[in-house]
Amino acid sequence: MNGIIYFGNLQGSTGLLAEQELKTALAICSGMSGKEVARALGCAPGTVKKSVERVFYKLGVSNRASMVAEAFRRGVISSSAAALALIMAIHGMIGDDQAIRVRRGSNSGERKIETRIATRRAECALAVA
């Protein structure tokens, strides 16, 4: 039996995924973190984590961005704003920003992680112009 579940401006059908798995997938496609999904669905973060793992297995993927892309490709999730949700979800995969993590140790043993984004001179020149 295929039911339709709505979450925000997304909708999904329960053919391939169970109801809880589909709700979790829809929330992740909306850009929520695991803890935000747990609060929205009224369950524990561990429940969300297991639901995400089951969705990964059923869709044959290994990360959240591929899950979103595969769910849209298979038609499990659809929306009038599907293109926008898909772009938001996989932005991290296709971004051309050069992110560098620099680990610096201090005398007190404290380690700080600083994320820097390297930019090209041409991009800086365009921003100034």
Q: How many domains does the chain have?
A: 2
**Do 29 and 61 share a domain, yes or no?**
yes
**Do 119 and 60 share a domain, yes or no?**
no
The pTM of the whole model exceeds 0.85? no
Contact 74, 16 (CB under 8 A): yes
**Do 10 and 42 share a domain, yes or no?**
yes
**Do 76 and 23 share a domain, yes or no?**
yes
Q: What is the pLDDT of residues 20-58, one digit of tens each?
A: 999 999 999 888 899 999 999 999 999 999 999 999 999
**Do 81 and 112 share a domain, yes or no?**
no
Domain coverage including residue 120: 98-128
Measure the CA dihedral 68/74/75/79, to 10°: 30
Q: What is the pLDDT of residues 55-111, one digit of tens each?
A: 999 999 999 989 988 988 888 888 755 555 666 666 656 555 555 444 555 554 444
